[in-house]
Amino acid sequence: MKHLNEREQIRNAATKWRWQYAGYPKNSEFSKISQKLEKLDVNSATAEDVKNIIGNDSWCSPMGCNECGKSSWECVELGEPADYESRTAHICRDCLVAALALIGVNT
């Protein structure tokens, strides 16, 4: 289980990028991006900072809830680690609260 808010995505961006592009030469554009991500102050950087380094917002953006379909920074990833064929769900806070109510847990 993972909390997928903005700060956690920023904290994990460099590690995920390194893993994704580990086989590329050290002087490649992927390596340069990796170095810039490593230099980010993860306690004050924003999703926009990550986007500006990588060139798109797919590495740090609000997640779409698999229950209600809304995008939110306050989602939890449940199930297997996200991959192309994983059984993973992203659930927003509102839907988590509703799910707890279904099983009789007061929040």
Q: What pLDDT score was predicted for residue 22?
A: 84
Q: What pLDDT score was predicted for residue 15?
A: 94
Strand partners, 90: 77
Judged by DSSP in three states, 10 sits in helix
Residue at 49 is within a domain: yes
Residue at 107 is within a domain: no
Would you state the torsion angle of the CA atoms of residues 46, 77, 24, 10, taken in this order, to the nearest 10 degrees?
10
Identity of the amino acid at 22: A
The CB density around residue 78, as the number of other CB atoms within 10 Å, is 14
Find all residues with CB under 8 Å of 9, minimum gap 6, and list them: 47, 50, 59, 60, 61
- Asked if residue 49 and residue 92 are part of one domain, the reply reads no
Domain boundary among 37, 54, 71: 54
Residue at 82 is within a domain: yes
Arithmetic mean of pLDDT, 7-28: 89
**Gap between the Cα atoms of 32 and 44, Å rounded:** 21
Q: What pLDDT score was predicted for residue 56?
A: 96
- Asked if residue 43 and residue 8 are part of one domain, the reply reads yes
> Which stretch of 16-20, 23-27, 61-65 has the lowest confidence by average pLDDT?
23-27
pLDDT tens, position by position, 34-92: 999 999 999 999 999 999 999 999 999 999 999 999 999 999 999 998 888 999 999 99
Total domains in the chain come to 2
- Asked if residue 37 and residue 14 are part of one domain, the reply reads yes
Give residue 14's domain range.
Answer: 2-54
- Asked if residue 6 and residue 47 are part of one domain, the reply reads yes
**Gap between the Cα atoms of 27 and 99, Å rounded:** 48
- Asked if residue 31 and residue 7 are part of one domain, the reply reads yes
Q: Does the pLDDT of residue 107 top 80, yes or no? A: no
Residue at 11 is within a domain: yes
Identity of the amino acid at 54: I
Q: Does the pLDDT of residue 23 top 90, yes or no? A: no
